[in-house]
Amino acid sequence: MKFPAFLPLLAGALLVASPQAATAAVASAAIVAAPTTAAISRIDPTFWWVGMKNPKLQLLVHGAGIGSSTVTLSYPGVTLDGTQKLENPDYLIVNLTIAPDAKPGKLNLEFQGAKKVKYSYELRQRTTPGDKTKVQGVTSADFVYLLMPDRFANGDPKNDVVKGTRVSRIARDSMYARHGGDLKGVEQHFDYLKELGVTAIWPTPVVENDMPKASYHGYALTDYYAVDRRYGSNEDYVRFVQRAHQSGLKVIHDVVLNHMGSKNYLFLEQPAADWFHQWPSFTRSNFRDAAFNDPYASDADRKLYGEGWFDTTMPDLNQSNPLVATYVIQNFIWWVEYTGLDGYRIDTYPYSDRNFLMQWGEAVLNEFPQLGMFGETWVQGNGQQAFFARNILPPVNGFKSNLPGVTDFQSYYAINEALTKDAGWTDGIAKLYYALQGDWMYEDPMRNVVFLDNHDLSRFYSVVGEDFAKYKMGLAWLLTTRGIPQLYYGTEVLMKNFSNPDGLVREDFPGGWPGDKKNYFTAAGRTGQAGEAFTYVSKLANYRKTHPALHSGKLTQFIPQDGIYTYFRHSDAGTVMVLMNSNKDEKAVELSRFAERLNGFSSGTEVTSGATLSDLKLARIPGRTAWVVELKK
């Protein structure tokens, strides 16, 4: 059986990450006397499993002076392949092979330095392959709800402030402070999500983010193996996933490959200098993704894009170091096996090392072929976006993506233009047509995630000028086009604001805290257009859930004419016609143009209003309206 090449395969040898690290390690050994070995502070991964497809395991051991230790073990089916010293004498790499017939239990590791230290390392029995309630994957049949746990609902006020963390207060009147939302708060509103028609929850990162400023968003992680205690414990997260599954909801885990928080112990006590991209002074990425695959790119631009830091508090990982690559890859295998989560959303996907991205994708999908995965690809152009997903394009600079899907920014740009600009030959609503026309480059565009807004973008209702008719058009498109639809929390109740500064689009969900003046979690609290918006989304999302033509059927689109975009979703189970009129005024549409998809049908029912379309020859569609019509024979 072929195993991914990223894991260390040499046994009994002193492996060195790079010539520079080797020189530094020798120098350190010459000038630093090994201190007395104290108790081991931690080992990552914190535990592992027998029965994994890849038998190799790399342990990163941390403890005072541990690097000078020799290691022994005796456990049936587990082989010590060797150890590796690092530049920092307080770290040691231990490489193991776990045979297929190894049994779960406690693996006793002995570290012999100035003193002998024993560590009982747990090997558990793997459960995900046989348990169909775990790792269910994410498909186009799902409707994803993106939320920020800190801003959604506070279910357990006792964990609002946790002793020992760098932020000792909550302040709901500050856009960058902690507000107190947690996993329990999300769980308490599972019924709300199910009523809305949601099938999968995507929380922004739940791992520890113990940073002194703006720690609420989760994208500067400080411990790869711990849930942030202000959200709950690791065990709470496991139960959260279990209870979501019991409620018919999947869970998508938001991950960051490219960087970490500067208060992460791995940065505060760096195993070696080459674990991070080092610069003489702080150097920010140029954020120009084109440099990744531009055949004419300068080395300087390409280096700055991939190795520059995202921010002053976000150290950039050197994933070309095989030890770093293995550490990160094992961590994200660990979370899936530990919790049984259903999918990964990968933050800042294109910024990582190209070889690492291929290794990471291969390794994770090798263990969990059914896992849903999509990466954030905030890029320009259909070709550039398709480049980062599984596609039919040739490799560039040795990179060929194995990522199943991406966040579809091209259709996001298109729906915004469709609803804010006049129609033209390629402008306005025509953008929707061309966004999907580029799907020929993907292996399967149905795995792409479509959206109207998210935690980094201006809220959709504000983008369309708080025009309720345009709002409904956007939601109709979201829930009928191809791909996996994603809704940002609060969009269903007309939450609004612009992303400059970004905290304005990350406000608390009304009703998530005791004493809130409004409670949009209840029907009684959703008065006026907020209630109408919720009903519209819920009706269409629940219809989509039960009609395979919309979530897994084929798509046939017609070139927009006179500001009207028409497309069909169709399968053996039925056909749905969508007519989008971007004009201010009513338009008469000759339906004979769509005969190839209308043949055999005599009438239709508009899904959201229940209105009957008795004549499939001519349709008079009001301005700023989208009709979702189930065709009848």
Write the pLDDT tens digit of every residue in 191-207: 999 999 999 999 999 99
Q: What is the pLDDT of residues 52-76, one digit of tens each?
A: 999 999 999 999 999 999 999 999 9
> What percentage of residues in the chain have a pLDDT greater than 90?
92
Q: What is the pLDDT of residues 284-319, one digit of tens each?
A: 999 999 999 999 999 999 999 999 999 999 999 999
**9, part of any domain:** no
Sole residue written with tokens 């046939």: 556
Residue 456, Cβ density class (10 Å: 0-12 exposed, 13-18 middle, ≥19 buried): middle
Q: How far is CA 414 from the centre of its chain?
A: 22
Q: Which two tokens stand for residue 396?
A: 């560039």
The SS3 call for residue 271 is coil
pLDDT value, residue 460 = 98
Are both 313 and 407 inside the same structural domain?
yes
Whether 458 has a pLDDT exceeding 80, the answer reads yes
Range 215-238 average pLDDT: 97
Contact 402, 365 (CB under 8 A): yes
Q: What is the pLDDT of residues 136-153, one digit of tens each?
A: 999 999 999 999 999 999
Q: Which of 581, 578, 553 is nearest to 567 (CA)?
A: 578
**74, part of any domain:** yes
Beta partners for residue 317, in sequence order = 276
pLDDT value, residue 119 = 96
Q: Which two tokens stand for residue 563?
A: 């500001």
Are both 378 and 515 inside the same structural domain?
yes
Are both 506 and 615 inside the same structural domain?
no
Q: Where does the pLDDT of residue 114 fall: very low under 50, low under 70, confident under 90, or very high at 90 and above?
A: confident
**280, part of any domain:** yes
pLDDT value, residue 28 = 30
Whether 10 has a pLDDT exceeding 70, the answer reads no
Are both 524 and 482 inside the same structural domain?
yes
Q: Where does the pLDDT of residue 39 fall: very low under 50, low under 70, confident under 90, or very high at 90 and above?
A: confident
Q: Which two tokens stand for residue 106?
A: 């406690």
**135, part of any domain:** no
Contact 251, 240 (CB under 8 A): yes
Whether 384 has a pLDDT exceeding 70, the answer reads yes
Task: Please report, for residues 187, 189, 208, 370, the alpha-carbon distance to residue 243 in angstroms, rounded to integers and kept in the order given.
Answer: 8, 12, 21, 20
Q: Which of 356, 286, 337 is nearest to 49 (CA)?
A: 337
- Please report how many Cα atoms fall inside a 13 Å half-sphere around the Cα of residue 406, on the Cβ side: 30
Are both 338 and 441 inside the same structural domain?
yes
Whether 31 has a pLDDT exceeding 70, the answer reads no
Looking at the 3D structure of the chain, how many domains does it have?
3
Pick from 484, 511, 546: which residue ends a domain? 546
CATH number (domain holding residue 66): 2.60.40.10
Are both 85 and 217 inside the same structural domain?
no
Whether 12 has a pLDDT exceeding 70, the answer reads no
Q: Where does the pLDDT of residue 20 fall: very low under 50, low under 70, confident under 90, or very high at 90 and above?
A: very low
Separation of first and last alpha carbons in the chain: 53
Structural domain harbouring 607: 554-632
Burial 380-418 (b: 16+ CB within 10 A, else e): eebebbbbbbbbeeeeeeeeebbbbbbbbbbbbebbbbb
Range 484-495 average pLDDT: 98
CATH number (domain holding residue 252): 3.20.20.80
Q: What's the pTM?
A: 0.93
Are both 321 and 219 inside the same structural domain?
yes
Q: Which of 2-11, 281-290, 487-496, 537-546 has the lowest mean pLDDT?
A: 2-11
Whether 7 has a pLDDT exceeding 50, the answer reads no
**134, part of any domain:** no
Q: Which residues have C-beta within 8 Å of that of residue 534, sequence separation ≥ 6?
A: 196, 492, 493, 520, 526
CATH number (domain holding residue 622): 2.60.40.1180
Pick from 514, 546, 578: which residue ends a domain? 546
Contact 226, 234 (CB under 8 A): yes
**424, part of any domain:** yes
Catalytic residue annotation: 347, 376
pLDDT value, residue 3 = 34
- HEC string of 480-545 equals CCCCEEEEECCHHHCCCCCCCCHHHHCCCCCCCCCCCCCCCCCCCCCCHHHHHHHHHHHHHHHHHH
pLDDT value, residue 38 = 54
Are both 418 and 444 inside the same structural domain?
yes
Are both 516 and 589 inside the same structural domain?
no
pLDDT value, residue 115 = 87
**7, part of any domain:** no
Helices (H), 126-202: 149-152, 183-187, 190-196
Are both 563 and 539 inside the same structural domain?
no
Q: What is the pLDDT of residues 512-555, one digit of tens each?
A: 999 999 999 999 999 999 999 999 999 999 999 999 999 999 99
Q: What is the pLDDT of residues 78-107, one digit of tens each?
A: 999 999 999 999 999 999 999 999 999 999
Q: Where does the pLDDT of residue 34 fall: very low under 50, low under 70, confident under 90, or very high at 90 and above?
A: very low
Are both 269 and 386 inside the same structural domain?
yes
| Mean pLDDT computed over every residue of the chain | 93
Single-letter amino acid code for the residue at 137: G
Pick from 94, 125, 156: which residue ends a domain? 125
Are both 166 and 262 inside the same structural domain?
yes
Q: Which of 9-18, 243-252, 514-523, 590-599 has the lowest mean pLDDT?
A: 9-18
Range 429-458 average pLDDT: 98
Q: What is the pLDDT of residues 337-366, one digit of tens each?
A: 999 999 999 999 999 999 999 999 999 999
**139, part of any domain:** no
Whether 242 has a pLDDT exceeding 50, the answer reads yes
